Structure 1
Amino acid sequence: MSSDSPWGSPVRAPACMEVHLGAVRYRTDGALLMAASSLNSRTWGGSIWVFKDPLRAPNESLCTAGVQTEAGVVDVAWVLEKGILVASDSGAVELWELLDNESLLVNKFSKYEHDDMVTSLSVFTGGSQAVSGSKDFSVKVWDLSQKTPLKSYKAHSSFVNCVSTCPGKETMFLSCSEDGRVLLWDTRNAKPAKRIDVCASHSIPTYVTWHPVEDDTFACGDENGNIYVVNLKNSDSAQTASIHSRPITGLAYSNHSSPLLASVSEDCSVVVLNSESSVIFKDESHRDFVTGVAWSPVSVDSFTTVGWDHKVLHHSIPKENNPEPKAEEKA
Structure 2
Amino acid sequence: MDEFIGSIQFNQNGDLLLSSSYLTFQSWTGFIGVLPKSDISNNSKILLSKLRIKKKFHSAPSVARWTTNESILIGNDSGDVELLNLSESSEDNFEVVMSKCQHDGIVTCLDTKFDSNLALSGSDDATIKVWDLNESMSKHTYRAHDFSITSLTFKPNETDCFISTSQDYKSLLWDTRKDKPALNFKHNLTGFPSCSAMSTNDLNMIVLGSEFGELGVYDVRNLSQNMIRKVHDRLIRQIKINQKNLIATVSEDCTTKVSQVVKPSVLNEMDLKTIYSCKHGDYVTGIDWDLRNDSEFVTCSWDGFVKTHLIDLKMQNGH
Instruction: Compute the TM-score of the two structures, normalised by the length of structure 1.
Output: 0.87
Contact 1:196 1:235 in 2 (8 A): yes
Q: Which residue does 1:308 correspond to in 2?
A: 302
TM-superposition CA deviations, 1:277-315 (whole Å, max 9, x none): 21110112x111000011112332111000111011111
TM-superposition CA deviations, 1:189-235 (whole Å, max 9, x none): 1111110211335x111001111223322110001100011111111
Q: Residues 1-331 of structure 1: matches in 2 within 5 Å?
A: 19-56=3-40, 58-60=46-48, 63-100=51-88, 104-201=93-190, 203-255=191-243, 258-276=244-262, 277-284=272-279, 286-323=280-317
CA change 1:196–1:55 in 2 (3 A) is: farther
- Counterparts of 1:152 and 1:59 in 2: how far apart (Å)? 37
Contact 2:282 2:302 in 1 (8 A): yes
Amino acid in structure 1 at the alignment position of 2:163 = L
Q: Percent identity?
A: 28
Q: Which residue does 2:266 correspond to in 1?
A: none
- Counterparts of 1:236 and 1:315 in 2: how far apart (Å)? 34
Amino acid in structure 1 at the alignment position of 2:10 = Y
Amino acid in structure 2 at the alignment position of 1:38 = Y
- Counterparts of 2:228 and 2:72 in 1: how far apart (Å)? 34
CA apart distance, 1:275? 2.8
- Counterparts of 1:101 and 1:304 in 2: how far apart (Å)? 30
- Counterparts of 2:219 and 2:52 in 1: how far apart (Å)? 40
- Counterparts of 2:96 and 2:298 in 1: how far apart (Å)? 27
Quote the RMSD (CA, aligned, Å): 2.0
CA apart distance, 1:318? 2.6
- Counterparts of 1:287 and 1:79 in 2: how far apart (Å)? 30
Q: Which runs of 5+ in 2 are unaligned?
A: 263-271
- Counterparts of 1:19 and 1:171 in 2: how far apart (Å)? 36
Q: Greater shift after overlay, 262-271 or 73-82?
A: 73-82
CA change 1:61–1:268 in 2 (3 A) is: closer
Amino acid in structure 1 at the alignment position of 2:55 = V
Q: Which runs of 5+ in 1 are unaligned?
A: 1-15, 327-331
Instruction: Compute the TM-score of the two structures, normalised by the length of structure 2.
Output: 0.90
SS class of match (2:261): coil
- Counterparts of 1:262 and 1:158 in 2: how far apart (Å)? 26
CA apart distance, 1:62? 6.3
Contact 1:260 1:273 in 2 (8 A): yes
Contact 2:70 2:86 in 1 (8 A): yes
- Counterparts of 2:233 and 2:82 in 1: how far apart (Å)? 34
- Counterparts of 1:117 and 1:61 in 2: how far apart (Å)? 24
- Counterparts of 1:320 and 1:211 in 2: how far apart (Å)? 21
Amino acid in structure 1 at the alignment position of 2:84 = W
Q: Which runs of 4+ in 1 moved over 6 A?
A: none
Contact 1:126 1:170 in 2 (8 A): no
Q: Count matched residues.
A: 305
SS class of match (2:238): strand
